[in-house]
């Protein structure tokens, strides 16, 4: 613009200056054109998968930016993002514990350097089998844990009627003899909700007559088990997916609880562990390790291994208490010499006698200790503990409330 604003004489000088400045640029461009033309086919070959040399990987041209002063780059390219890290493999849950269920005490002790010294017998139907599995799995990591022995018939019940016709009154003596249990657990009844025959009449479940007949059978089986095992736990039925069956099991639990209390044995209620806050059946829930797990299979009846351990959890409190009790002495069989209730099938009579219990004598020794003569060692203690007679107050001691105060050495006031 300055050259245009000057006179014509100066225009020639400006043109010469511009020519001198542009000459190097034009020369550089003329030298670079052959290189560009020569490199074009190579660049095209890199983009063409057919013309690309084997093993070559096309890369985008590097953007190095504009470096004016050699050490500082203007418009530097963005740093490439760090490589994406592979996601961490999912944490595998710990393996399920697997305990061992035995058929007898001899099998549980055979070949063991440190054989178990306590034995738990689980008797009953399918629920009892899964309970035994849960107990064995729960004890597998514990030292000096009891051995779990099971006598299971999946489709059996308290009633010796079909489908299998298994009479537990006849089978219990052999099961107890083989197990020599410290504690026996009884889980039966889920197959018993059906009409009963009473002479020539049919009695529907949970009517007054049905409850009476079924209650007699409960008493017989529990008495037969307790006569030899002594420490017994009766396990209630667990909820199932069927709403109607679940309601029947709730009524059955009322009977089991009442007759267990009448016999003086523990009752383990497992119901609340497998229902939600509204009392409805659940297949998933909190396991004994605190994790949410599947507890029931899709059939709505059977338990998974996690569910079986939770089932066993509800019996372990009573089980630990009974195992901790001293084993000295025998608990007398609750019988007054009368005959046991008749079986519903007019079969086995006298459950206690069948199980091997000796009949109680009509004359029993008095539970009261013999009175000690006055002045004998411990006579005052016996009077305090048995008769509630307080000791004579010592004059001057805090418990001497006589008035007027007595003098030390004076005879006690009569």
Asked if 144 and 70 touch (Cβ cutoff 8 Å), the reply is no
Cα–Cα distance for residue pair 337/361, rounded to 1 Å: 7
How many H helices and E strands in the chain? 10, 12
**100, 195, 234, 251 from 213: Cα distances, Å:** 38, 11, 19, 15
DSSP 3-state of 116: coil
pLDDT > 70: percent of the chain: 60
Contacts (Cβ under 8 Å, ≥6 apart) of 327: 182
CB-count burial class (<10 Å; 0-12, 13-18, 19+) for 183: buried
**pLDDT of 291 over the 50 cut:** yes
In tens, the pLDDT along 297-323 reads 999 999 999 999 999 999 999 999 999
Q: Delineate the domains of the chain, giving CATH numbers in brackets.
A: 101-327 (3.40.50.1110)
Q: Are 45 and 51 in contact (CB under 8 A)?
A: yes
Which string of b and e fits 65-89 if b means at least 16 CB within 10 Å? eeeeeeeeeeeeeeeeeeeeeeeee
98 and 139 Cβ atoms separated by less than 8 Å: no
Tokens coding 80:
């490439």
> pLDDT for 182-220, tens place per residue?
999 999 999 999 999 888 899 999 999 999 999 999 999
Q: Are 395 and 406 in contact (CB under 8 A)?
A: yes
CA atoms of 126 and 183, how far apart (whole Å)? 19
Q: What SS3 class is residue 209?
A: helix
Q: Which stretch of DSSP H or E encloses residue 73?
A: strand 73-74
Confirm if 322 and 266 have CB atoms less than 8 A apart: yes
- Distance between CA atoms of residues 204 and 214, nearest Å: 11
Contact 193, 130 (CB under 8 A): no
Q: What are the Cα distances from residue 90, in Å, to 46, 54, 86, 87, 192?
A: 42, 39, 12, 9, 46
pTM exceeds 0.75:
no
Instruction: State the average pLDDT for the chain.
Output: 77
Q: pLDDT (tens digit, 9 = 90+) per residue, 80-109?
A: 788 888 887 877 767 778 899 999 999 999
Q: Which helix (H) or strand (E) holds 135?
A: helix 126-139
Instruction: Check residue 265 and give its pLDDT.
Output: 96
Given pLDDT bands bounded at 50, 70 and 90, which one contains residue 129? very high
**Distance set, CA 158 to CA 167, 191, 214, 275, 337 (Å):** 8, 8, 8, 26, 24
pLDDT score recorded for residue 61: 56
């Amino acid at each position: 613009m300055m050259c245009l604003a000057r006179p014509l004489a100066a225009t020639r000088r400006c043109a010469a200056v511009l020519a001198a400045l542009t000459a190097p640029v034009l020369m550089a461009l003329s030298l670079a054109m052959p290189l560009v033309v020569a490199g074009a086919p190579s660049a095209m070959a890199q983009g063409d998968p057919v013309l690309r040399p084997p093993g070559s990987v096309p890369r985008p041209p590097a953007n190095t930016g504009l470096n004016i002063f050699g050490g500082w780059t203007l418009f530097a390219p963005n740093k490439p993002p760090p490589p994406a890290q592979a996601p961490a493999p999912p944490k595998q849950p710990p393996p399920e514990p697997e305990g061992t269920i035995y058929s007898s005490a001899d099998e549980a002790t055979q070949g063991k350097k440190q054989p178990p010294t306590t034995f738990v017998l689980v008797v009953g139907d399918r629920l009892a089998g899964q309970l035994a599995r849960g107990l064995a799995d729960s004890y597998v990591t514990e030292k000096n844990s009891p051995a779990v022995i099971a006598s299971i018939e999946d489709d059996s019940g308290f009633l010796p009627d079909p489908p299998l016709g298994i009479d537990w009154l006849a089978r219990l003596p052999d099961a107890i003899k083989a197990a020599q249990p410290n504690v026996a657990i009884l889980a039966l009844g889920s197959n018993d909700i059906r009409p009963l025959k009473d002479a020539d009449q049919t009695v529907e479940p949970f009517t007054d007559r049905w409850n009476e007949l079924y209650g007699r059978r409960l008493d017989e089986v529990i008495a037969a088990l307790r006569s030899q095992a002594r420490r017994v736990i009766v396990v209630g039925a667990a909820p199932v997916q069927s709403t109607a069956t679940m309601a029947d099991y709730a009524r059955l639990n009322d009977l089991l609880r009442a007759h267990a209390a009448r016999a003086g044995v523990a009752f383990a209620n497992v119901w609340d562990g497998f229902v939600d806050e509204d009392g409805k059946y659940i297949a998933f829930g909190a396991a004994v390790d605190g994790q949410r797990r599947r507890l029931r299979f899709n059939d709505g009846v059977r338990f998974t291994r996690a569910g079986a351990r939770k089932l066993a959890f509800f019996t372990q409190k009573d089980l630990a208490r009974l195992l901790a009790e001293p084993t000295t002495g025998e608990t007398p069989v609750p019988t007054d010499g009368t005959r046991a209730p008749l079986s519903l099938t007019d079969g086995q009579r006298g459950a206690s006698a069948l199980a091997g219990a000796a009949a109680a004598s009509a004359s029993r020794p008095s539970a009261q200790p013999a009175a000690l003569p006055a002045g004998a060692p411990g006579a005052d203690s016996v009077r305090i503990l048995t008769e509630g007679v307080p000791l004579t107050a010592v004059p001057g001691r805090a418990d001497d409330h006589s008035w007027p105060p007595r003098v030390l050495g004076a005879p006690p006031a009569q």
